[in-house]
Amino acid sequence: MSAPTAPIVAVDRVSKRFGPTLAVDDVSLEIAEGEFLALLGPSGCGKTTLLRTIAGFEAPSAGRVLIDGLDTAGVPPNRRPVNMVFQSYALFPHMSVADNVAYGLRMEGVPAAERRARVAAALDLVRLAGFEARRPDRLSGGQRQRVALARALVKRPRVLLLDEPLSALDARLRDELRAELARLHVELGLTFVMVTHDQAEALALATRCAVMDRGHVVQAAPPADLYRRPTSRFVADFVGSMNVFEARATGPSTAVLPALGLEIARPEAAPADGFWVALPPEAIDIRPRGGGPAPAGLAVAGTVRVRSFLGASSVYVATVGGAEVRVLRPSGRDEAPPGQPVWLTWAPEALVPLYA
C-alpha cells in the first residue's frame, strides 16, 4: 500500500477577526492535491475571508496556513504557489488581452520570448487564441472571465483560487464557464478552491464541498454525500431544496412528524427531546388520490398547490395539513395539476435524521 500523501493546503485552526467581528472561527481543513474544493455558504459566513487568507491577502488572527507543508506566515501573495481569479475580473482596461495575461510574468522578469509562448499557451487553453490584441471593453463577460483565468493559469500555480467566478454572468454564460472550469480541472490536474453561494454550482463542479456557517465549517463531504446525508438542519436547508420536518419521539422505537401527522420509526441515536428529518424532493412519488385506501408504506394525503415545469423535470408544491412538501418528478410522469388531491409516498429509508 502506498503511503497517504500530505495535503497541498492545510488550514490549521485559523481564526480571523475584523475588529469585534469574528469572520472565521477556529477552522481546520485539509485540501488534497488535485481536488476541486468548493467553499459554500450564505453571505457573511466567512468563506471569502478564508479564501483570501489562503491567498495571503489576509493574515490570520490565530492559527496558520500551510501550503506544500510550509507555513505561509509572512509570505506575501505573489510568493505563494497560488493564484486567484476575482469575481470582478480585475483586468487592466488600457491593456490588450495578451498584455493582461502577461502582466504577472513581466513583473517577475520572465524573458519576452518565454512570456509570449506562455501567454499563447494560456489563451489557447481557455479557447481565446486570436483575441490577443483586443481590449477588455471589446469582450463579453464570459470572455473577460476567460482572460482572468488565463492570467491566473499562465503563472503555473499549484493551487487556483476562485472567488465567485461565475456570479457576474448570465445563466447561459454561467453554464458555459461551468463546463470550462470542469474541463480545465480535469486537463490540468490542478487543485481548485472555489468560493460560491450557489449550491447547484458547487454540487456540479466540486469533488468535495465544505459548507460554512458563521465562521465555521459545519460539514465537508463529496457533493452526493452532502446532498443525500446532511448532518445538520442548516446543511439540509441550505444545500438543494430538501424538505425538513420536526420529529418528536413517542416511544423507544417510534416518532411522529407533527406537521404531516405521520408516525415513523425512531432512529436509535435520536434524542428523546426531538430531532429533525430531511426528505429529498426527488424521493417522493406523487399520484392522484381517488376513493381507494392509502398506498402501502409512508403516505400522506395532500393537494397540489403549484406545479412548475422545468423542462426535463417538474417541481410540485403540495400542501399537507399546514405544511408544504416539495416534490421533484420527471416531466410527463405522475403529473398532477394545481388543485389535484394526491398521495405523496416515499420509502422509509429516504428520511435522513438530523441531530444538529
| pLDDT at residue 7 in the model | 94
Residue spans of beta strands (DSSP E) within the chain: 9-18, 21-31, 36-40, 62-67, 70-71, 82-85, 159-163, 191-196, 208-213, 216-221, 243-249, 254-257, 262-265, 275-279, 285-288, 298-309, 313-320, 323-330, 341-346, 352-354
Q: Match 475571508 to its residue by C-alpha cell.
A: 49
Residue type, 145: Q
Q: How large is the greatest C-alpha to C-alpha distance in the chain, in angstroms? A: 81
Distant-in-sequence, close-in-space partners of 112: CB < 8 Å, separation ≥ 6: none
In this prediction, the residues of the chain whose per-residue pLDDT falls under 50 are: 1-3
| pLDDT at residue 66 in the model | 97
| pLDDT at residue 334 in the model | 64
Distances in Å between the Cα of 316 and the Cα atoms of 234, 238, 321, 327 are 23, 19, 16, 5
| pLDDT at residue 2 in the model | 44
Predicted confidence (pLDDT) per residue in 288-304, tens digit: 887 677 777 788 999 99
Q: How far apart are CA 94 and CA 112, in angstroms?
A: 20
The full 3-state SS of 177-189, as one line of letters, equals HHHHHHHHHHHHC
Report the interhelical angle of 97-107 vs 112-125 (nearest 10°).
130
Distant-in-sequence, close-in-space partners of 292: CB < 8 Å, separation ≥ 6: none
Q: Are 190 and 163 in contact (CB under 8 A)?
A: no
Q: Are 232 and 278 in contact (CB under 8 A)?
A: no
Q: Are 119 and 132 in contact (CB under 8 A)?
A: yes
Q: Over the Cα atoms of the chain, what is R_g?
A: 25
Distances in Å between the Cα of 103 and the Cα atoms of 5, 64, 92 are 34, 30, 9
Q: How far apart are CA 159 and CA 333, in angstroms?
A: 45
Query: Domains of the chain by range and CATH?
Result: 9-235 (3.40.50.300), 241-354 (2.40.50.100)
| pLDDT at residue 335 in the model | 73
Q: Are 39 and 46 in contact (CB under 8 A)?
A: no
